[in-house]
């Protein structure tokens, strides 16, 4: 990759240009029932099936975007001595990690890149290691194929995430090193310093952050993103005084895990429609929506609004909701939301990806003018969607969905135009 990429995301629905993905590997299977919950999974995936589905997903994505693989970028950046040193120093901070520092330093670039993602098995060279129930000295990154979460581009800035769980912290560190040192990226990187106030309470992840417009961010406050994390984002947005800025914050339930991020209950589809999980987004409940207005680098006002669509309408974005699971049966809505029925990724306005298994959601999209195209129909060339048509590409995702995320979760957009 020789061309310099300047990250720019001004909206969730602009035409996709460049996206970072990670094809799942052995790290997905490197868990057992005892540690699956710690790995943030509610079940154990079958890698061979998940990989088949993921390859279909990435092949579809490659029809519309430049797709960059995390593992390729990581290998390239680890050839830079300063990047390699910085990443190892950052990773090997804890007591456990310090013991494996020398072992990591001795690895060649390819092996080091693999180990940083797939994990480093314990060597049974001591009694403690032999008796340990932990199989890995450096734990695998089970969740890294959900690349959305570890960094976020808004306008021309990259916010490196502060992950809520230490199981995922290395994902953000890897992305920080890639964006800082890889010669292909020209960017402004923002990451929380340990020295700022309330640093230990700052948490935010990409699944909770949606760019509605250049001046509007939607942020979920819940299991993975804290109020202090949102304040950190706001403090950095305030540095640019050229535009009035608006933040809409949506409170999310702390359980079940299907509500882990905002994009599991709300995504943007085009300039006319959004996808919503009706019980949380539209119906009266205890989870509040807050509008924050920023002007001349200061917070001008903070007020409650009825819901996200109402808040967006007050800012000039009038969206009609399409309901996850349809409108007839709450149980169906809940079932399809559980399997990422609201989690759509926009290739451009009115051109979206989602799981075929959510049949009622697909029917609802079809009722609102979206043509349903199966991934195989697109890939074998039997259907060629026109540039001006609205469509949803239905992905095979029975196994991937069990990992707890959908098409938006599996993408980290870098450029939209």
User: Please, what are the domains in the chain?
Assistant: 16-416 (3.75.10.10)
Spell out the per-residue pLDDT of the chain, length 417, in tens: 557 899 999 999 999 999 999 999 999 887 666 665 555 555 678 889 999 999 999 999 999 999 999 999 999 999 999 999 999 988 765 445 556 777 888 899 999 999 999 998 887 777 777 777 777 888 899 999 999 999 999 999 999 999 998 889 999 999 999 999 999 998 789 998 776 766 789 999 999 999 999 999 999 999 999 999 999 999 999 988 888 999 999 999 988 888 999 999 999 999 999 999 999 999 989 999 999 999 999 999 999 999 999 999 999 999 999 999 999 999 999 999 999 999 999 999 999 999 999 999 999 999 999 999 999 999 998 888 877 789 999 999 888 988 889 999 999 999 999
pTM above 0.85, yes or no: yes
Specify the pLDDT at position 95. Answer: 40
User: Strand 151-154 and strand 136-138: pairing?
Assistant: unpaired
Give residue-wise pLDDT tens across range 233-242: 999 999 888 8
Asked if 330 and 283 count as a contact pair (C-beta separation under 8 A), the reply is no
pLDDT per residue over 239-253, tens digit each?
Answer: 888 889 999 999 999
Report pLDDT digits (tens) over 161-181: 999 988 899 999 999 999 999
Rounded Cα gap, residues 159 and 416, in angstroms: 16
Give the residues across from 185 on adjacent strands: 5
DSSP state, 124?
-
285 and 259 Cβ atoms separated by less than 8 Å: no
**Chain mean pLDDT for the chain:** 91
Q: Burial code of 98-110, b = ≥16 C-beta within 10 A, e = fewer?
A: eebeeebeebeee
Task: Write the CB contacts of 224 (distance below 8 Å, at least 6 apart in sequence).
Answer: 149, 163, 164, 203, 204, 205, 207, 208, 260, 261
């Amino acid at each position: 990759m020789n061309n310099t990429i300047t990250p720019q995301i001004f909206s969730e629905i602009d035409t996709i240009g460049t996206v970072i993905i990670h094809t799942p590997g052995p790290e997905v299977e490197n868990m057992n029932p005892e540690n699956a919950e710690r790995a943030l999974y509610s079940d154990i995936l079958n890698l061979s099936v998940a990989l088949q589905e993921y390859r279909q997903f990435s092949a579809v994505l490659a029809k519309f975007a430049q797709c960059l693989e995390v593992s390729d970028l990581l290998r390239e950046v680890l050839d830079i001595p300063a990047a390699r040193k910085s990443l190892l120093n950052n990773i090997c901070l804890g007591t456990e990690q310090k013991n494996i520092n020398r072992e990591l330093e001795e690895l060649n670039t390819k092996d080091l890149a693999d180990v940083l993602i797939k994990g480093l098995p314990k060597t049974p060279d001591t009694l403690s290691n032999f008796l340990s129930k932990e199989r890995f000295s450096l734990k695998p990154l089970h969740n890294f194929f959900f690349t959305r979460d570890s960094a976020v581009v808004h306008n021309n800035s990259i916010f490196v995430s502060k992950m809520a769980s230490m199981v995922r912290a290395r994902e953000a560190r890897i992305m920080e090193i890639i964006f800082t040192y890889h010669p292909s990226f020209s960017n402004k990187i923002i990451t929380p310093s340990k020295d700022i106030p309330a640093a230990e309470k700052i948490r935010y992840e990409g699944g909770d952050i949606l760019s509605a417009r250049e001046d509007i961010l939607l942020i979920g406050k819940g299991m993975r993103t804290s109020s202090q994390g949102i304040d950190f984002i706001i403090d950095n947005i305030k540095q640019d005084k050229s535009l009035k800025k608006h933040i809409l914050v949506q409170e999310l339930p702390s359980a079940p895990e299907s509500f882990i991020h905002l994009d599991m209950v709300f995504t943007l589809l085009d300039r006319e429609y959004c996808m919503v999980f009706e019980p949380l987004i539209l119906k009266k409940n205890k989870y509040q929506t807050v509008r924050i207005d920023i002007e001349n680098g200061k917070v001008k006002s903070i007020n409650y609004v009825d819901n996200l669509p109402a808040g967006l309408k007050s800012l000039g974005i009038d969206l009609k909701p399409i309901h996850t699971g349809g409108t007839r049966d709450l149980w169906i809505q809940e079932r399809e939301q559980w399997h990422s029925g609201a989690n759509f990724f926009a290739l451009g306005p009115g051109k979206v990806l989602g799981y075929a298994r959510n049949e009622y959601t697909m029917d609802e999209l079809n009722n609102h003018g979206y043509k349903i195209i199966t991934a195989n129909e697109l890939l074998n060339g039997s259907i060629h969607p026109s540039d001006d048509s609205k469509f949803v590409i239905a992905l095979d995702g029975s196994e991937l969905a069990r990992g707890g995320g959908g098409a938006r979760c599996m993408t980290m957009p870098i450029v939209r135009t």
